[in-house]
Amino acid sequence: MKLTEEEQAMLAGEMGAPRQWAIDHMMKVGAMFDAPDLVEISQAHMMADPESLGEAGVAFLEGLAAGDAKVVVPMITDPRGVDLDYYRPLGQTEEMADLERRTIAACAAMGIAMTNTCINYQTIMPPVQGDHVAFGDTGVVIYCNSVLGARSNFEGGPSALAAALTGRTPRYGLHLPEKRRATRRFRVHEQPQGLTGWGVLGAVIGRASGSYWEVPVIEGIDVIPTSDEIKHFGAAMASYGSSPLFHIVGITPEAPTLEAAGGANLPREEITADDLRALKSNFGGRGDKVDVVVFAAPQLSLVEMQTLAGLLEGRRRHPGTAVIVCTSPSVYADALRLGYVETIEASGAKVLQGTCFYNQYAREIGEANGWRRLLSNSAKIVNILGGYGYAPALASMEECVESACAGEIV
């Protein structure tokens, strides 16, 4: 790889051992993907929850911090694995909490801002079109690439950290204009409705795309989605298809026309109402008992918190059905000030801040609480949790609330 003088100095260890490790890591990743050089980034976002890190990962972070490692661009974090104000009631252990505390201390020592969110594009500092960034969470990456026009690959935890320590990432994949051109063309024949409808459509297209290197362009959408709707759309697509980028003709910034996105000469694949119904039919059925209702993945925006509070106002959850709501610390503060948290929790639900259900030891807390039948309005979370021992079902936010109060799918 071609290195600048500054990058050569990093590699020689002239800027300290942590940056020497980081630039060496960047070069190894770049070599695997045939990157010609490194590209400067404006910010980084890292997945570093203790369930993923384990003891070895946390010790690695502590070693870097002890070596006086410091990030050189703004770096923020994905949801944590433990809400330290509410982990014992979930059945999480002191060992889990201790790993969390050690991770936070190591990251803070390196200058990382512990934002603990997968909706940073709605709350912290959205990148702009053409901005090169190094982001980790799949939902974050696909939203920022597709909706904002920024440029990022899916960065693993060590790669995101190395990018923040050097201010660079290998120039390959979606940092290259030619890799952002459409490779699959889909035409939608039924307009998505609400958060779950958009999530289902994203899941169907993601499953059909089926590869990180495929870029779907979608035509036939006649409605402009809200930020939350397209958030659920992208998160589901990335979950079902590993997709980091999509284009919607007339809506996303790199697809003012089908031709501009590169899709004009691609064969057209049809997405019908039957395709959408087929995906939904895989999850649960009316009358099934519900152990836990989850609103997460992605974390809820302030608007989603307002909507949920309105649906739960004056209601009570069924005593046999837990309700878990996950949002970012910044949204939590606003939701608390506006009374949404009080209204939601008056129903018997619990609002967690800075975590997301599936990366907070979902298997262990399910076993500790006897949760197996789970209901959510997130297509992403029902896709993931089938692998964690749950029997998940998918429904709209309104249907989730009614089911939480009834104790069964209504």
Share of the chain above pLDDT 70, in %: 100
Q: How confident is the model at residue 34 (pLDDT cuts 50, 70, 90)?
A: very high
Residue that has been written with the tokens 């989605």 in this structure: 225
What's residue 280's pLDDT?
Answer: 84
When pLDDT is averaged across residues 334-353 and rounded to a whole number, the result is 98
Q: What sections of 44-93 are H helices per DSSP?
A: 50-66
Number of residues that make up the chain: 410
Give the confidence band of 120 by pLDDT, cuts at 50, 70, 90: very high
pLDDT-derived band of residue 98, with 50, 70 and 90 as boundaries?
very high
Apex 341 CA angle, 115 and 315, nearest 5? 145
Buried b (16+ CB within 10 A) or exposed e, 352-390: bbbbbbbbbbbebbbeeeebebbbbbbbbbbbbbeebeb
| Separation CA 271–CA 267 (nearest Å) | 13
DSSP H helical ranges for 94-252: 94-109, 120-123, 138-146, 157-166, 194-209, 227-241
How far apart are alpha carbons 283 and 116 in whole angstroms?
A: 30
- Say if residue 170 is preceded by a cis peptide, omega within 30 of 0: no
Dihedral sign from CA coordinates of 236, 169, 161, 56: positive
Q: What is the pLDDT of residues 259-303, one digit of tens each?
A: 999 999 999 999 999 999 999 887 767 889 999 999 999 999 999
Which pLDDT belongs to residue 283?
75
Q: If you write DSSP's letter for every residue of 215-269 in order, what string do you get? A: -EEEE---SPPPHHHHHHHHHHHHHHH-----EETTTSTT-SSHHHHT-TTSPEE
In the predicted model, what is the mean pLDDT of the chain? 97
For tokens 């003891």, name the residue: 55
Q: For position 243, what pLDDT does the model report?
A: 95
pLDDT tens, residue by residue, 369-381: 999 999 999 999 9
pTM: 0.97
CB 284 within 8 A of CB 393: yes
At residue 108, the pLDDT reads: 98
CATH of region 5-174, choose from 1.10.287.950, 3.30.499.10, 3.40.50.150, 3.30.230.10: 3.30.499.10
Q: Give pLDDT, residue 37.
A: 98
Q: What is the pLDDT of residue 88?
A: 97
The class of domain 283-409 in CATH terms is alpha beta
pLDDT of residue 282: 74
For residue 166, what pLDDT band results from cuts at 50, 70 and 90? very high
CATH 3.30.499.10-classified regions of the chain: 5-174, 283-409
